[in-house]
Structure 1
Amino acid sequence: MDILERVKKDCCGCSACMNACPRSCITMKPDSEGFLYPSVDEDKCVGCDKCAKVCPVLNSGRPDNQPKAYLVRNRDASLRKSSTSGGFFAAAAEYVLEQGGCVFGVGFDENFAVRHSFIESMDDIKKFNRSKYVQSEVGFSYRKVKEFLESGRKVLFTGTPCQVEGLLNYLGRDYDGLYTMDIICKGVPSPKFWSKYLAWQKKKSGKDIREVRFREKTYGYGSTTMRVVYSDGTEYDEPYDVDPMLQFYSKEMISRPSCYNCHVKGKHRRSSFTVGDYWYVSGAAPEMDDGIGVSQVLVNNEKAAAAFENIRKHLDTVQLDFDKDSAINGGMMVASAKPSPRRDEMFADLDKMSVGELQRKYFPSTFKLKNSIKRQIRPLMYKTGVLKMYKKRMRKKQSEQGSRQNAAPMKRVSVYTRGFTHAASYYRILQYTEKLGNVRITNRFTVTDKMFRRYSDSPTLLCKIEYHLMIFFRNLWNFSRDIIEKPDTVVISRAAVPKVCVFPIDLMYEHILKNSKVVWDFDDDIFGINEITRAESLLLRRYSDKVIVTSDYLKNMLGKRCRKKVSLLPTTDGDFRIADKTSLNVKRQSTFAEQINVLWVGSSSGLKHIRNVVSALDNAAKEVREKTGKKLTLTVICNLPLEAETKYLEIKNILWARDIVLDEMLKAHIGIMPLLNIKRSMGKGGFKLVQYMAVGLPSVASDVGINNTVVADGETGVIVDDKENTDGWVDAVLKLSLDYNEWEAYSRASLKKWEEDFSFDRNLDFWQKTLSE
């Protein structure tokens, strides 16, 4: 089968088909424009179709990821000066090489042909520094990458987006040791034109070429030149509006045909990192604009994020808003270039004319007197600092214009909560505040955190009176502000008004609900525990545009008309996003052979549930000790201690604090969520179970309420039917305590389920869409 017939002009020349062919019947041969295309020896071909299966044109996909965007500047200024932009590639290469890995990149061979190769030492990094505006010859690099990965070595592969896609398709799976880096690519110029350019340079100078540097920072970042160093040490140094190679490239006359309809560009990519220039640095982070260069880096997945945390020790970084950044600086990231209408004419002339002659025909203005004068005064402007000031001012102006043209209108949102301490307020909405683009959230908290803690820990009569008075006066102020400011959206977290809604609060509240888009969010049976008055409930059912709950049970508590507005959204924990998942179970494995740590996290109102299973856990501790010799401990993190007598089970009480919870979860082996089979339990949202999964912690939970939909029984944990008795808890705990490999399989499955169904980024996308509409 001729793979070229399948892709025709869309072929990107990545060479994945040649690398994948088991019969070596595909070779890459240049066409009349100098670009490589697959050529198939039909006599050898067996029709296995492997070439088609790895082709990025025929098999292009988009991951459902949420990249993190950064401005990056290498702290080694001398290294940055020899890089195209901010020196991120060198830092990433060093990270891999320090671990005994190897780095694939693009360099020149002895004849200045552009080829992929690899290095194993930082001493050779200069070989890959700087862009090469020519399509590289990949050769059999993909096979070599696989060979290194199979031997257990780490690999960093850099290339254009289509080359990275070709590699990933060829490998067929994500190796733990593989990191890929693609570029924000304009297009790949013709190797044939490059060869003609080199010949023109030699003939014009009468000398051999010793070195070539694309994007030399002769006049600083943003005023780069093409530098050619000749054999006698003399130099050619001309900017993009004078040098013919840069001229023809910038005017879209020499790029590959497939670059004008690129199949792999986009904001969401399969590579580990996406790297490019960032021309709006003066507006986004003026402290980073020193005229030497910065890189825009997109960290595209969690494995890359873990590596980035290690790489950034060599870098100055500023995080950007991904969506806003993509809009302002993302033209080349997502859009294919448009070919010059004279492109075909130029290639027809290429065999008949020298590069100098082509330049005079297609860019005659290069030789006008005013341009010659401009070239003469540019060095003087650079030496006096005038050029640097001018370029910096222009970058700032571009940044401001880009922001004005592309920034979405800001949405003003008022969120009525019980403050940051209240779990439902924080985990349902407030934790997303700083991550929401084009949304400005005002937290209209109804009580202070200090008052809420007093009310939760010791609700005396006086405390209750103070609590409700504070809600009344806070709402009087909050409602007044919103009547004046008229927010686009009002979010009500559970309930906003006190138990008794009196004049003028009732009228002000209804006025706001009538005149705003209203989102009502709750994650518990607020009706059964009398957290909301009937009057407020009726108002919210009537005026809410969207109702967000955690389960079908809560959805069914609403009227038929209101149920049509309902969206289901689980509660998750952004603080528990674990960057380095490879070392997640290190502490747990080190203690698994000696003791099993069971963890319960909750408030004092939930202690009744844990008391119900303490006896069963004590029996489980006995069984674990007799069968494995291990000790079983129960850690309770709560605002009040669990008081219970046990014979074999060791109980450890810890006062709740958010940072302590994460630390203890990383030490635990089993997370538990017992629930009494009562109506109050049916509205629970399974938040503790979601937290456990976020850190790869297998769980044991009662078969009550939402638990059996959060936990995949036998995969991420064990569901116990304890409605009649709690004996099942003994077998469940024992099952997760015997064999570490079996326990680790539960741990991996838990983490995977969290990423697929309960991730922070998934919920963030939901809120972004809801509040931006």
Structure 2
Amino acid sequence: MRKQTSLVTVATYGAAGSSARVRIYEWLRFLNLTAVQNDYLGGRENGLGTLIHGLPRVISAESNLRRLSKQLSTSTLLMSREASPFSNGRLESSLLAKAGHGIYDFDDAMFNARPTMPKKLWSKAKVWSAAVRSADTVIAGNDYLAEHAAKLRNDVVIIPSCVNPREYIPKSNYSLNEIPTLIWMGSPATEHYLQLIAEPLLSINAQTRIRLIIVSAGCRSLGQLDQIVERVNWSAQTFGSVLAQADIGIMPLDKSLYAQGKCAYKLLQYGAAGLPAVGSPVGANRAVIDSMGGHCATNNQEWEQSLRDLITSAVADRAALGMRARDVVSRSYSFDCWAELWRRTTGI
């Protein structure tokens, strides 16, 4: 039986925060590992309003992190992205350097982040570079991220953002809903990508009514898209079943340098549910879509055509795409596939 190393995790979100959940907490749960968890305020976001209203807890979290740096000499530290929203990298560097084994995990192109005020005061790019330089081992979510990290640190390992297909109810009926239904699952911070394809979505809706289910914690208006949107609050209890109720999954992205680092996690979730998908061929999306036999769309015309093709295709064709996607996820992007490397990399 494997003896577990003392493990400490650091993230700025709790299990409701998408990145920390996928990159840390779901690994702990999947492998049945225990850890001393430091999750700052423990919520799903650290917006300015949340931080101001939780000021006493913010002060406590900052104090705890500084004490933690003195207690890590015999522990493995697994850090996701950053330790504090009020850091320029010095804190992350100290924690990782003082750990018995410091592991830094990231799944976004933080080195390309261009924040607006007031977050501009705390540079994510500086946090990223300091953490990568100070870690013993770096885990990157895809090739693009690993390539940049390798410029600063030799020991870089690629482990994608994995899913557990057993937690998703696979789609079994590929006949279209009475109103063809698209679905997008993600965080409020990335909902703006949906507005990139408002024109093709509304064009299709004008001729063939469609519905867009947004599974998120957000509630903001998406302008003209609101007429076709149905919001479902993300829940750990229901996310695995809601996808199968839709007909097509979508993942639009822009062509920014930041988006180049995306890990295609939405597409993997759609695949785990056996859902045909359309996505922008940006970041890891292209490789995932190609492996699934899905549809890439680079502009409004291609988005409209790809969605129309799936809506009008034969039931058997949609089923074949969905089942192929689930098979690809199971064989190439599941926790089962990557568990051995994750354990070997972390030493846990």
Shared topology, TM-score over 0.5? yes
**Which residue of structure 1 lines up, in the alignment, with residue 144 of structure 2?**
553
Letter in 2 for 1:410: Q
Change beyond 3 A, Cα 1:618–1:537: closer
Distance in 2 (alpha carbons) for counterparts of 1:741 and 1:463: 53
**Which residue of structure 1 lines up, in the alignment, with residue 307 of structure 2?**
733
Matches within 5 A, 1:188-337: none
Distance in 1 (alpha carbons) for counterparts of 2:28 and 2:177: 42
**Which residue of structure 1 lines up, in the alignment, with residue 290 of structure 2?**
712
Alpha-carbon RMSD: 3.0
Distance in 1 (alpha carbons) for counterparts of 2:59 and 2:147: 33
Provide the secondary structure at the position in 2 that maps to 1:634. strand
Residues 247-272 of structure 1 deviation map (CA, whole Å, 9 limit, x = unaligned): xxxxxxxxxxxxxxxxxxxxxxxxxx
Residues 365-394 of structure 1 deviation map (CA, whole Å, 9 limit, x = unaligned): xxxxxxxxxxxxxxxxxxxxxxxxxxxxxx
**Which residue of structure 2 lines up, in the alignment, with residue 748 of structure 1?**
323
Q: Cα offset for 1:413?
A: 1.3
Provide the secondary structure at the position in 2 that maps to 1:521. strand
Q: Is the 8 A contact 1:436 1:768 kept in 2?
A: no
Asked whether 1:567 is paired with 2:157, we answer yes
Q: Cα offset for 1:743?
A: 0.4
Asked whether 1:605 is paired with 2:200, we answer no
Matches within 5 A, 1:115-194: none
Asked whether 1:411 is paired with 2:1, we answer no
Distance in 2 (alpha carbons) for counterparts of 1:710 and 1:464: 40
Identify which of 313, 336, 340 aligns with 1:765. Answer: 340
Q: Is the 8 A contact 2:11 2:80 kept in 1?
A: yes
Provide the secondary structure at the position in 2 that maps to 1:696. coil
**Which residue of structure 2 lines up, in the alignment, with residue 577 of structure 1?**
166
Identify which of 14, 38, 46 aligns with 1:444. Answer: 38
TM-score, length of structure 1 as denominator length = 0.40
Q: Cα offset for 1:511?
A: 6.8
Q: Cα offset for 1:637?
A: 1.7
Note the residue ranges of structure 2 that are not aligned, 5 or more in a row: 116-121
Distance in 1 (alpha carbons) for counterparts of 2:333 and 2:191: 26
Change beyond 3 A, Cα 1:509–1:720: closer
Distance in 2 (alpha carbons) for counterparts of 1:421 and 1:593: 30
Q: Cα offset for 1:569?
A: 1.2
Letter in 1 for 2:233: L
Letter in 2 for 1:734: R
Identify which of 64, 67, 88 aligns with 1:474. Answer: 64
Distance in 2 (alpha carbons) for counterparts of 1:533 and 1:759: 29
Note the residue ranges of structure 1 that are not aligned, 5 or more in a row: 1-406, 626-630
Q: Mean Cα displacement is larger for which, 418-427 or 760-769?
A: 760-769
* Structure 1 stretches of 4+ moved >6 Å: none
Residues 117-138 of structure 1 deviation map (CA, whole Å, 9 limit, x = unaligned): xxxxxxxxxxxxxxxxxxxxxx
**Which residue of structure 2 lines up, in the alignment, with residue 105 of structure 1?**
none
Q: Is the 8 A contact 1:468 1:499 kept in 2?
A: no
**Which residue of structure 2 lines up, in the alignment, with residue 282 of structure 1?**
none
Residues 439-484 of structure 1 deviation map (CA, whole Å, 9 limit, x = unaligned): 64221222222xx54x34x63783486675354123134334435x
Identify which of 407, 416, 424 aligns with 2:19. Answer: 424
Q: Cα offset for 1:428?
A: 0.8
Change beyond 3 A, Cα 1:509–1:461: closer
Letter in 2 for 1:422: G
Aligned pairs, number: 338
Q: Cα offset for 1:667?
A: 0.3
Distance in 2 (alpha carbons) for counterparts of 1:447 and 1:646: 33
Distance in 2 (alpha carbons) for counterparts of 1:720 and 1:524: 22
Distance in 2 (alpha carbons) for counterparts of 1:768 and 1:509: 23
Identify which of 665, 668, 672 aligns with 2:243. Answer: 665
Provide the secondary structure at the position in 2 that maps to 1:678. coil
Change beyond 3 A, Cα 1:688–1:592: same
**Which residue of structure 1 lines up, in the alignment, with residue 104 of structure 2?**
520
Q: Is the 8 A contact 1:526 1:532 kept in 2?
A: no
Q: Cα offset for 1:654?
A: 2.0
TM-score, length of structure 2 as denominator length = 0.85
Q: Is the 8 A contact 2:157 2:345 kept in 1?
A: no
Identify which of 703, 706, 722 aligns with 2:281. Answer: 703
Structure of greater relative contact order (alpha carbons < 8 Å, 6+ residues apart) = 2
**Which residue of structure 1 lines up, in the alignment, with residue 80 of structure 2?**
493
Change beyond 3 A, Cα 1:550–1:656: same
Residues 348-368 of structure 1 deviation map (CA, whole Å, 9 limit, x = unaligned): xxxxxxxxxxxxxxxxxxxxx
Q: Is the 8 A contact 1:639 1:656 kept in 2?
A: yes
**Which residue of structure 2 lines up, in the alignment, with residue 690 of structure 1?**
268
Q: Is the 8 A contact 1:671 1:698 kept in 2?
A: yes
Distance in 2 (alpha carbons) for counterparts of 1:747 and 1:436: 28
Q: Is the 8 A contact 2:142 2:158 kept in 1?
A: yes
Q: Mean Cα displacement is larger for which, 470-479 or 682-691?
A: 470-479
State percent identity of aligned pairs: 20
Provide the secondary structure at the position in 2 that maps to 1:592. coil
